[in-house]
Structures are given as structure tokens and as C-alpha cells.
Amino acid sequence: MATVMQKIKDIEDELLDLPGIIEGAKDGKGRGRQVISTARTCNCILIVLDAIKPVTHKRLIEKELEGFGIRLNKEPPNLTFRKKDKGGINLTSTVTNTHLDLETVKAICSEYRIHNADINLRYDATADDLIDVIEGSRVYMPCIYALNKIDQITLEELEILDKLPHYCPVSAHLEWNLDGLLEKVWEYLDLTRIYTKPKGVNPDYEDPVILSSKRRTVEDFCNRIHKDMLKQFK
């Protein structure tokens, strides 16, 4: 496992080069659980694929990550699940459901020994979505598929692969499109720069505080500086 500091735009990002994931990694094979647990802490996953056989490797890696609770390029399920002391299983929905009905929901809850709960669906959720919410140990993060060795495939093949979502074609050997890959990483990280301004002093534009665009409240900013900073607020 290697760590490299890479400057993207004007921000220093830490890149972790993790060992390759093999089949059975999620079950501990080849120190796979250690590797995947490290991946869970990242803000963006970059999966390097061989352009000659990308689909085979992509499916294998996705299966291992999914089995360890990592959801790639997905949003958390838009549903609420709340346990209660009594009243049984209550299912409500604001949309038409094609995957879940009350009996299916009861069967899933029964598997987790849950007999009293309120579930509200805000979209056409699947059984897997409900299970993810019940277990609550899932992480949702952006993922880019770096399609390496594009110098070894034809232009026609490259044009087909380039249409796939979340892909970025590169050639590490010939250093093709590496800047394009960094641009895509910046886009997927979705970061916000916060410039601090001490009282009576000009803003510091050299060293911004970096926050995710999805978590950029004053509370998030304070926690990024120091966990005790909020305690000093009136």
C-alpha cells in the first residue's frame, strides 16, 4: 500500500495505491478485507481496468466491493425506516411500487427479527435498497473507472468504451489523458474551498479549508478545523 500526494487544481489530494482485489477478497482472501476496509474511508474510488478485458475485471471488483457494503456511484436509498415498540409493520409510499409490497417488507423485516417499524418509500425502491437501510453499514461514494492500455486497442473499440458512464480512457505507459483523469477526479470529488478571514485581515487565498459540497455547513467547517471548536460557539 503506497501513499502519494497529488496536486489537483490548487489542492493537495492524498492518493492511496491499494493492492489488487482478487475474487473472494470480501471474505478475507489475499488480505482483501483489510484492503476494502481502507477503501471505505476514501472520498472517491479509482478502479484501474485493462482496456483489453475491462468488463470481466469490472464485474469482479464491483462484486467484492458490494459484498463489503460499498455502493459505487449510487445515492443512499430515498426511504425512511424507523423502529417502534408496537403496532406491527406499517408501509407507506408516495409513489407506485413495483418491487416492494407489504408482505415482502414484512418478510425482509422478519429476517432481521424486526416486528414493529414504520417504512416510508419516496421512490420505487427494491428489496436490496430496504436491506441496505436496515443494515445501515453501507457507504456511498463516487467511482471512476480508469481504462488503461488504450494504446493497445483500436480507435473503434475506444469510441465504444468511451460512451460508457464513469469511464476515463488513459495510457499510463504513454501518459495519454492523465490530465483528463485528474480533471475527472476533481469533478467526482465535488469539493468546496472555504477561505478563512481573520478579523481585520485580508482573506487567506493560499490555504483554503476543503469540504465536500454535500457537507459544508458552519458545523462541518468547525469540525474540519478542530472537534472542540463548536464548544466555543455561543
Least confident of 24-28, 153-157, 161-165, 229-233: 24-28
Task: Provide the total of helices (H) and of strands (E) in the chain, helices listed first.
Answer: 7, 12
C-alpha to C-alpha distances, 152 to 54, 172, 178, nearest whole angstrom: 13, 12, 16
Task: For the chain, give the mean pLDDT.
Answer: 90
Mark whether 14 and 115 lie in a shared domain: no
Q: Which of 96, 112, 135 is the last residue of a domain?
A: 135
Mark whether 148 and 68 lie in a shared domain: yes
Task: Return d(Cα 189, Cα 60) in angstroms, integer.
Answer: 24
Mark whether 65 and 12 lie in a shared domain: yes
Mark whether 70 and 155 lie in a shared domain: yes
Band (22; pLDDT cuts 50, 70, 90): confident
CA angle 125–168–141, rounded 5-degree value: 35
CATH number at residue 70: 3.40.50.300
Mark whether 205 and 227 lie in a shared domain: yes
Q: What is the mean pLDDT of residues 91-117?
A: 95
Mark whether 198 and 183 lie in a shared domain: no
Task: Return d(Cα 31, Cα 207) in angstroms, integer.
Answer: 37
The CA-based dihedral angle spanning residues 118, 123, 127, 133, taken in that order and rounded to the nearest 10 degrees: -60
The domain of 58 spans 5-74+139-189
Domain count, the chain: 3
Whether residue 125 contacts residue 99, with contact meaning beta carbons closer than 8 Å, is answered with: yes
Q: Report pLDDT for 188.
A: 95
Nearest in space to 44 (alpha carbons), one of 169, 220, 190, 222: 190
Q: Is the pLDDT of residue 234 over 80?
A: no
Mark whether 48 and 151 lie in a shared domain: yes
123-163 residue pLDDT tens: 999 999 999 999 999 999 999 999 999 999 999 998 888 88
Q: Report pLDDT for 134.
A: 96
**In sequence order, which residues have a C-beta less than 8 Å from that of residue 112 and are 6 or more positions away?**
134
Mark whether 19 and 130 lie in a shared domain: no
Q: Report pLDDT for 216.
A: 85
Q: What backbone torsions phi and psi does residue 141 show, to the nearest 5 degrees?
A: -145, 155
Mark whether 108 and 120 lie in a shared domain: yes
- What is the pTM for the complete model shown? 0.84
165-216 residue pLDDT tens: 999 999 999 999 999 999 999 999 998 888 888 888 888 888 888 888 888 8
Q: Give CA 21 to chain center in angstroms.
A: 17
Band (54; pLDDT cuts 50, 70, 90): confident
Whether residue 146 contacts residue 152, with contact meaning beta carbons closer than 8 Å, is answered with: no
* Residue 108 or residue 161, greater confidence: 108
Mark whether 70 and 143 lie in a shared domain: yes
Nearest in space to 37 (alpha carbons), one of 25, 22, 24: 25
Q: Give CA 52 to chain center in angstroms.
A: 26
